[in-house]
Structure 1
Amino acid sequence: MTDQGAPMLGVLGGMGPLASAQFMARLTLLTPAERDQDHIPTVLWSDPRVPDRTAAQRGTGEDPLPWLLRGISGLEAAGCGAIAIPCNTAHGWFDGMVAATRLPILHIVDAAAEELARLGLRGGRIGLLGTEGTLAMRLYQKRLDQRGYETITPDDAEMTRVVSPAIAEVKANHVREAYEPLMEAAKRLVARGAHAVVLGCTEIPLGIAAGPAAPFPIADTIDALARASIRWHQARQGA
């Protein structure tokens, strides 16, 4: 008999749409299931109209928080029991979102830390690729430092020349074109002593997956958030 009381996961997406679609695919593929009814009931709110988060962080764009709260209200109304946000930079407004909802919001950086631990890395030097906004807000550096990691990032020139254009390629659906620059940036971090590279923008795993696998550990934040969502669901099922 189907469990009609199974808690629904809310996904606040659209930032960008392809990353949200990939999150849904990975959530499905990573869930231990033998039939449709074993999967996590999920509501995806994919709204690409949310203002650019990096521009907002720079002070040159519209505040995305009202749009994020609109999505959260929609997920609340749909009866969701928790929210996952497959966009790293949106977590710069995490406190504002948490203050506006009764629902738990799974933090993508905490999910990434669990992914690093799953890979056998519980400290040490970690490379981080992300948007300019994510790096400037130090979303990863603050939380990972507390867990014993030393986080290193590309320099300004590498961000301008390599990382930001590659993220823009993925957002424009030019996924294959993003592979070489993103892999170049990741290899530079490893050359500087990183034991693993966190893909701290949900567009980046799409680009990295478009070519040969990396010869070093990668923490994919889409997969990390999907696994955190599965753990939340399993905990609720066992409650």
Structure 2
Amino acid sequence: MKKSIGILGGMGPLATADLFKKIVLLTKAGCDNDHIRIYIDDNAQIPDRTTAILEGGADPVPAMTDSVKKLSSIGADVLIMPCNTAHYFLPRLKEVSPIPFISMLEETARTCRESHGDTPVGLLGTTGTIRSGIYHKALEEQGVPCIAPDEEQQKVLMELIYGVKSGSENLDEAAFRKVLQQMKEKGAGYFILGCTELPILQELFHLEEECVDPTTVLAKAAITYCGYQVKE
């Protein structure tokens, strides 16, 4: 029996739209009726995840739990979140959710192992994602070495990520490319775009570096879970 998807969105809205678009584009379908039923709760009022993790800011879990309950009550069979940093709170959400989650981090780490073996991967993401170690743990479980940004590189990444969130047109492409080059010099053979704003930058800047897009990985995993075929 085919299943439906619930997207716990709003973190941020553009990333939510990007995930929805990728699910639609990656589903093998001959007509509208061949697509997956998708429920989206795009709650942009969920408190900032990085601020909560690093600075003791407002806890986002109550608002996220509200989305979980709404999505499960209207018919979603599985939940996904288009926010890497939000996965820090996934264990708490699983405790209150009546339906399963697909972890973007676990699926991405598995994809890295299958596609690149033990080649070191450069991890790009929010400061909350990097410092919390949530990706490091998932990658370590798959035996994938991880190279993280240093403090200055992380500052550049955060400016770019929040620039995308704010709709800024003043995004420093040269600074981003410099960070990638420096991380390659440290041994990164490819990169994880570990924040859902980063694939948007990848497309905008036409990056040549090989990258794993967790949003695409998650979209494919959700399609398969729901009993549909991924378009090759």
Consecutive unaligned residues of structure 1, counting only runs of 5 or more, are: none
Match of 2:150 among 148, 155, 162: 155
* 1:16-56, Cα deviation, whole Å (9 max, x unpaired): 00000011111111111111111111001110100000000
Match of 2:133 in 1: 138
Structure 2 counterpart of 1:233, which letter? C
Contact 1:12 1:85 in 2 (8 A): yes
- Residue 53 (str. 1) matches residue 49 (str. 2): yes
Cα deviation for residue 137 of structure 1 reads: 0.9
Contact 1:114 1:224 in 2 (8 A): no
Match of 1:222 in 2: 215
Distance of 2:199 and 2:92 partners within structure 1: 27
Match of 1:196 in 2: 190
**TM-score, with length taken from structure 1:** 0.90
Q: How does 1:118-137 map to 2 (within 5 A)?
A: 120-137=115-132
* 1:181-237, Cα deviation, whole Å (9 max, x unpaired): 3333223222211111000000111111102232x320011111111111111279x
Contact 2:113 2:144 in 1 (8 A): no
**CA distance 1:110–1:210, shift in 2 (3 Å):** same
- SS of the counterpart of 2:142? coil
- Residue 168 (str. 1) matches residue 162 (str. 2): yes
Q: How does 1:15-94 map to 2 (within 5 A)?
A: 15-94=11-90
Query: Which of the pair is proportionally richer in strand?
Result: 1
Distance of 2:123 and 2:169 partners within structure 1: 20
**TM-score, with length taken from structure 2:** 0.93
Contact 2:84 2:194 in 1 (8 A): yes
**Which structure is higher in RCO with an 8 Å CA cutoff and minimum separation 6?**
2
Contact 2:3 2:227 in 1 (8 A): no
- SS of the counterpart of 2:7? strand
Distance of 2:179 and 2:40 partners within structure 1: 31
Consecutive unaligned residues of structure 2, counting only runs of 5 or more, are: none
